[in-house]
Structure 1
Amino acid sequence: MPEATVRPAWPADLVDIASIYGHYVDATTVTLDETPPDSVAWSNRYWSLAERGLPFLVAETDGRIAGYAYCSPWKTRSAYRYCVEESIYLAPWATGRRIGGALLDHTLDECARVGIRDVIAVLTSETGAPESSSFHLHRSRRFEVAGRLKGVGYKNATSIDTVIMQRALADHEPAGPATGPRG
C-alpha cells in the first residue's frame, strides 16, 4: 500500500475533488448537501479559501487524488476569525489506509501555522456515532464532543443529527503570524 503525499490543492485538482464529494452527496448522509456543487462553486470555494490563507490540501497516492481537506471560516463575524470548520473526504477506494489521519494532521499543522486557535468538525449521524471511523479519527487527534444538534438535517427521508467536535490548538506553536487568517 503506497504512502500518500499530502500537498496544497491546485485548481487542476478540483475535478477530482468534485468527483469525490459528489459520491458522498449522492450516496450517503455524510454531508447534508443534496446536490453536488458544480465546477464554478468549487472554483469559488478554492479561491475564497486561498484569499483567506486557509488550508486546502489533497492526498495523492500513485498520482491519483485519494482525498482532500480544507478549512472554512466557522462564522462570518470578525470575532470568529481564529476559528474554522474542517472538512475531510476520501475517495471510496482510499478509505482504511490512514489517509484521513494524514490529511487531518497536515490540516491542523497548517491551521496552527496561520494562527487558527480552534478547529470545529461537524459530523452527521452517520459519522458522529462513537463507533464510526470519522469519530475515532477526530478523538485520536484530541477533538472533544462539544454538542449534538438533534434532527437539524433531513436527507434521503431521514432525520439527521449533527455532532459538533472541537479541538483547541493552544498546544500548537504557530509558525506564522499570530494575527489570524485574513478575511
Structure 2
Amino acid sequence: MTTPAIRPACRADITAITAIYADAVQHGTASWELEPPGEAEMLRRYETILAGGYPYLVAERDGEVLGYAYAGAYRPRPAYRATVENSIYIAPTAQGLGIGGLLLDALMKACTERGFRQMIAVIGDGTGASVGSRRLHEKAGFRLIGVAEKVGFKHGRWLDQMLMQKELGEGDRAPPGL
C-alpha cells in the first residue's frame, strides 16, 4: 500500500471532509457536536480557517481523501495568537494505518513555519473511545496538561476532556512574531 500524499485541502475536498466528519460526530467522541453539519457549513468552516492564516490539510491516496487535519485559534483573545488548537479526523476505513501521524507531523510543521509556538489538542474522552487520539499525540511528543472530568454528555454517557500540549519552534524562548 502506498503512503498517502499530504497536501493542502481544497474546496473539491469538502464532500469527503463532510462525510468523514459526519461519521465522527455520529459514532465517536472526537467531536462533541451531536448533529453533523452539512457541506455548506463545512465549507464555511474551511474558509474561516484559511482566512485566519491557519493550515488545513488532507491525506489522499489514489484520489481518495482518507483524513484531514487543521489548526485554528486556541482562544479568541489576542494574547493567545501564537497558540493553535489542532483537529484531526480519519475516515473509518483508514484508521489504524498511520495516517493520523502523517497528518499531525505535517500540521505541526506547517504551524511552525507560520510562527505558531504552542499546539493544544483538546481530546474528548481520552480514556475511552478517543484513546487512539491520546496515543497519537503522546507519540508526537505532546504532554498531558489537564483533564476536565464529566464535562460532556454524548452517546448516553458522561465524557472527560483531555488537554495535551506541544511546543512548536522556539516555543517560549522568544516573543512571538505574530
TM bucket, shorter chain: over 0.9
- Give the counterpart of 1:129 among 127, 130, 154: 127
- The amino acid across from 2:140 in the alignment is R
Q: CA deviation at 1:137?
A: 1.2
- Runs of 4+ aligned residues of structure 1 deviating over 4 Å after TM superposition are none
Alignment coverage as a number of residue pairs? 173
Aligned with 1:93: secondary structure?
Answer: helix
Instruction: Tell me how large the CA RMSD over aligned residues is.
Output: 1.6
Question: Does residue 45 of the first structure (1) align with residue 45 of the second (2)?
Answer: yes
Q: Percent identity?
A: 38
Per the alignment, residue 14 of structure 1 pairs with 14
> What is the distance in 1 between the residues matched to 2:144 and 2:169?
17
Per the alignment, residue 166 of structure 1 pairs with 165
Aligned with 1:21: secondary structure?
Answer: helix
Q: What are the within-5 Å matches in structure 2 for residues 28-43 of structure 1?
A: 28-43=28-43
Q: CA deviation at 1:171?
A: 5.3
Question: Does residue 156 of the first structure (1) align with residue 155 of the second (2)?
Answer: yes
Deviations 1:28-53 (A, max 9, x none): 22211101112222111111111111
For structure 1, which runs of at least 5 residues remain unmatched after alignment? 173-177
Question: Does residue 68 of the first structure (1) align with residue 68 of the second (2)?
Answer: yes
Aligned with 1:34: secondary structure?
Answer: coil
For structure 2, which runs of at least 5 residues remain unmatched after alignment? none
Q: CA deviation at 1:90?
A: 0.5
- The amino acid across from 1:161 in the alignment is D
Q: What are the within-5 Å matches in structure 2 for residues 82-97 of structure 1?
A: 82-97=82-97
Give the alignment's TM-score, normalised by structure 2. 0.92
Deviations 1:97-149 (A, max 9, x none): 11110000000000000011110001111xx1299322121111110001000
